Amino acid sequence: CPSLKLREVASMYFTMVAAFLVILVVALQGSVPRGSDFPYKVPLDPQGLLELSWNVSYPEQAVNFQLLIRDLQFGLLFGMSDRGEFENADLAVLWSDGHNSYFGDAWSDAKGQLHMDSQQDYQLLGARRAPEGLYLLFRRAFSTCDPKDYVIEDGTVHLIYGILEKPVHSLQAINVSALHGGLQRVQLLKPNISIPQLPRDMKTMEITAPDVVIPSQETTYWCYMAELPEGFPKHHIIMYEPVVTAGNEALVHHMEVFQCAAEFDSFPHYNGPCDSKMKPDRLNYCRHVLAAWAMGAQAFYYPEEAGLAFGGPGSSRYLRLEIHYHNPLVFKGRRDSSGIRLYYTATLRPFDAGIMELGLVYTPVMAIPPGEDNFILTGYCTDKCTQLALPAAGIRIFASQLHTHLAGRKVVTVLSRDGREQQVVNADRHYSPHFQEIRMLKEVVAVFPGDELITTCTYNTEDRSRATVGGFGILEEMCVNYVHYYPQTQLELCKSAVDPGYLHRYFNLVNRFNDEEICMCPQVSVPQQFYSIPWNTFNRDVLKSLYSFAPISMHCNKSSAVRFPGEWEKQPLPSITERLRERIPRCPPAPEPHPAAPIPLNLGQLRR
């Protein structure tokens, strides 16, 4: 009957609609990650009252956040900014008037005033109470195409937080300057790397502080000397991870293990502050990095085909552990036995991993004038050096550690071939000298003979009254990328500096065009000549021009600090004919304009 067929069609239709609704509900439930789905974790505040966990979805180009608030008062600000400021920040805000709670995406202007964002890109996924506190789950896309939003990139991200201790009746009523807040630096976009299988004969060794009392001051660098057993044969380090004393997770900022120079038969034992006058000078020869960890980082794995050699002939038995304690609340009497656990094997892998220094030589001829907000210096590893020193099959870079001193703001290393930039090796456009770690690269970078590796550092000296020269001192500057690669070669340092003769011509030119006399006497050091320069616009611009065209002195050095044979002075700067194009984010169609509104949350009445 026709009526029967109609009923059948109607039944099928409503069955399909019901099935679609079930699928939709399941999909929506599945969009809220579970607690076990957040592999990365970091405390935001020194007391550990705020704990951030997150995961990264590269297919969706988004970060999922889980924020645990152990002691919820009247709300919280969480967000990102260029250097950790509360001005010009991109924020997710939870606030309460004492009865009702709200969540919204906001931004702050140059004066710190909060505004509701017309484009709500912090997507609330859920909120739940637990015995340990309130869990707030939300999502944020890497790039939103909203001019008020922060673009989440590879490298360092400055996270900021502020705790609301009193009820507020509106977002605009929040006084940012009166908040109890702070910042935490992390690498949000962790590489999606599969964990290699570990060998059965793997052993572990812990290099840890011997139950030290953390000094009751904001910043301490603690040094402890350890040593390998007598006659310890060659092994490969294949993995390492942090060992952090329970309760000190918010105080242990970063840690490094250095191997000492093999030229010394012994090193004195030491356990104390690294800047103490009691520290033996010989400890300064313990500078070969074996492991480095910073807050928020997880275990570091070497590729299956390579390991970092330690032990055996030509390798020092002495190791130096350095721990940076960040104790802004000046806790007293806190004891610590943190350090790094090394995983190693006697079954050597096919390749020894090596560490190569790229960038600028530690020399005062590379200088930054005072009062600069964006001064650039560039170091080169030239095609001539890689042609001579690298094997025909090339090398594979799998990790990198960027390094400057206090004025550094950005570091980028680019691979160039035949004058054309090929790919970025590592880049940190929000670099901080207070957050340095060895980072595994998202993809291995192949470098062949004749390639060039160009490292560019950007500095800010607005708070300085005299020139900043290159050197080892903390108020001097560096521009370095320690790349971890395999197979190990004899090339340990591939760096450059401006030709000294051309710098001397610069000093003569400045002396001729300025009323003040600048002594060019041979006994006057390069730093003193830089310090005596009157830094007007002309002198600044000429120095920038000098660094952009003058020939360079190349340091193409073996591990013995001896250069490879060849002519390395007055070398021409590499010629780059084709630059990498900057990626332009795809922007979805702009939504119809509508008033932005916060999302009400049922959290009950918050405490008074």
**pLDDT for residue 591:** 57
> Residue 98: CB partners within 8 Å, gap ≥ 6?
74, 167, 605, 606, 608
Q: Which residues make up the CATH 2.60.40.1210 domain(s) of the chain? A: 40-190
Question: Which one of 40, 115, 270, 403 is the catalytic residue?
Answer: 403
**pLDDT for residue 411:** 97
Q: Which residues make up the CATH 2.60.120.310 domain(s) of the chain? A: 194-349
**pLDDT for residue 521:** 60
Domain 194-349 of CATH type 2.60.120.310? yes
Domain 40-190 of CATH type 2.60.40.1210? yes
**pLDDT for residue 90:** 97
DSSP H or E run through 546: helix 537-549
Token pair of 534 as six digits:
């009157």
> Residue 463: CB partners within 8 Å, gap ≥ 6?
none
- Please name which of 216, 196, 180 lies closest in space to residue 304, comparing C-alpha atoms: 196
> Tens digits of per-residue pLDDT, 498-523?
999 999 999 989 888 776 655 556 67
Q: Which residues make up the CATH 2.60.120.230 domain(s) of the chain? A: 353-506+540-587
Q: Which residues of the chain have pLDDT under 50?
A: 1-7, 9-33, 35
**pLDDT for residue 515:** 66
- Please name which of 70, 63, 71, 59 lies closest in space to residue 40, comparing C-alpha atoms: 63
**Which CATH number fits the domain 353-506+540-587, given the four candidates 2.60.120.230, 3.40.640.10, 1.10.3720.10, 3.10.105.10?**
2.60.120.230
Known catalytic membership, residue 221: yes
Question: Which one of 40, 221, 270, 285 is the catalytic residue?
Answer: 221
- What is the DSSP secondary structure assignment for residue 27, as one 8-state letter? H
Helix axis angle, 500-513 relative to 537-549, nearest 10°? Answer: 160
Neighbour tally for 241: CB within 10 Å: 17
